[in-house]
Amino acid sequence: MGQATRTTKLLLDLSERTQGGANSEKRAALHATEEVLNRARAFYIDFFLAHAQKLAERVPYYSEKHLEMRERPISANELLTWAEACTVETREHPQPWEGWNFTERFPAMPFIYRRSVIKDAIGKVRSYLSNVANWKQSGKKKGRPGLPGARDHPTLYQGTCSLQLESRDLRARFVQLKVYDGQGWRWVNYPVKCSRYFQQRLSEEAWEHKSPILLLRAHSAELHFPQTKEIAAEKVKESKLDRAALSACAPGILAVYCSLSAYARSAPKEEASRGARTASRRTSCAARSIRKPVRKPLSKES
C-alpha cells in the first residue's frame, strides 16, 4: 500500500472593500496572527533548547508483546503535557517556572494555537538535536547545524477555522478564522474566491482531509488543504538473467557475464563502466554467432 498526497487551494478575497473583499483591518489581523504565533513558537523553541535533556528522556512501559517492562523515547504528546505544566497557569499549576510564564507573555491565546506551536517547537528542536549529534559523530569542524527558526505558516486546527460555502450566492461564501487583532482574539469572516473545482476536490470521499495551512504573501492570502489517499502499489518485478537457460545455449556468454559482475564489484566506477561496455559488445557478438544458422553444403547429384 502507498499514499498519494495533494493540496487543494482556496484564495481569500483581499480586494477592495467596495469590490466585496476584506477590509484593511481584517487583512492586518491575518499578519498580526502569523506574527504572534511565530513569537509563541520561538518561546517554546527556546524552552526546549534550554531543557534539551528532557527530549532525550526514556520512559518505562510494559510491553504486552514481550511480557516485560521496557523503555521507549518520550512521546511528543507527553512532552506537550509537560511543557504546558511548566509554562501555563492553571488551577493544578498556578505558578509556572520562573522566566517561562507563557500565559503572562501571551494572554488569552486559544489553547489550540498554543498546542500547535508547542508541537512545531518539539519537531524543530528534535530535528536540530539529531542533526547536531550526527555532525559531532562525523568529526567535522565546520558545518555545525544552525539553530531552528521560529517562522512558519500557521496550521488551522479544528476550532480555529470554519468554512461557509453552502450559499448559492458567491458573495455570501466565506471562511471564519480565529485571528489576533493586536488587542485580543476574535472570530472574523473572510470572503473567499470559491470555485466548483475547489468544491469538487474537497467533496471527494476517497481523499482524507488534513488541517488547512494559512499562507500569507505580500498581496494575497491562501488556505492550503492537504489531502491524502491510500493507493494499492503494483508490484514491480525485476527482470533477472536466467543463468540456466543461458548456460545451456552458450557457456561462453555466461562466463563473460560472471566475470563482468565480479569486475564491477571490485573495480572503480569508471573502469567498471568501460569494462561493462566492452563485455556487453562481446556478449552481443557471441549471442549473434549462436543465433546465426549454419549453412550445410549442397550435395552434388551423382
pLDDT tens series, the chain, 302 aa: 688 999 999 999 887 766 556 678 888 999 999 999 999 999 999 999 999 999 999 999 999 888 899 999 999 999 999 999 999 999 888 999 999 999 999 999 999 999 999 999 999 999 999 999 999 999 998 999 999 999 999 999 999 999 887 766 656 688 999 999 999 999 999 999 888 888 889 889 889 989 999 999 888 899 999 999 988 766 544 444 455 555 555 555 556 556 656 655 565 555 545 555 665 565 555 555 545 555 555 555 54
Name 179's bridge partners: 186
Q: What pLDDT score was predicted for residue 19?
A: 56
DSSP structural state of residue 149: P
Q: What pLDDT score was predicted for residue 74?
A: 94
Q: What pLDDT score was predicted for residue 233?
A: 65
What type of residue sits at position 246? L
Does a structural domain hold residue 237? no
> Can you read off the three cell numbers belonging to residue 265?
564489484
End of a domain among 183, 200, 231?
231
pTM for this one? 0.72
Do 281 and 133 lie in a common domain? no
Do 47 and 129 lie in a common domain? yes
Do 253 and 132 lie in a common domain? no
Q: Residue 227: what are its φ and ψ, rounded to 5°?
A: -135, 145
Instruction: State the residue range of the domain holding 260.
Output: 243-289
Do 251 and 147 lie in a common domain? no
E runs forming strands in 48-160: 58-63, 68-73
Do 55 and 190 lie in a common domain? yes
Q: What pLDDT score was predicted for residue 260?
A: 59
Does a structural domain hold residue 300? no
- How many Cβ atoms from other residues are within 10 Å of residue 281's Cβ? 10
Q: What pLDDT score was predicted for residue 302?
A: 40
E runs forming strands in the chain: 2-12, 58-63, 68-73, 161-164, 174-180, 185-193, 208-209, 213-216, 221-231
Do 170 and 263 lie in a common domain? no
- How many Cβ atoms from other residues are within 10 Å of residue 125's Cβ? 22
Do 113 and 224 lie in a common domain? yes
Do 158 and 262 lie in a common domain? no
Does a structural domain hold residue 301? no
User: How buried is 104 (Cβ within 10 angstroms: 0-12 exposed, 13-18 middle, 19+ buried)?
Assistant: exposed
Do 8 and 33 lie in a common domain? yes
Counted domains in the chain: 2
Do 73 and 48 lie in a common domain? yes
Does a structural domain hold residue 256? yes
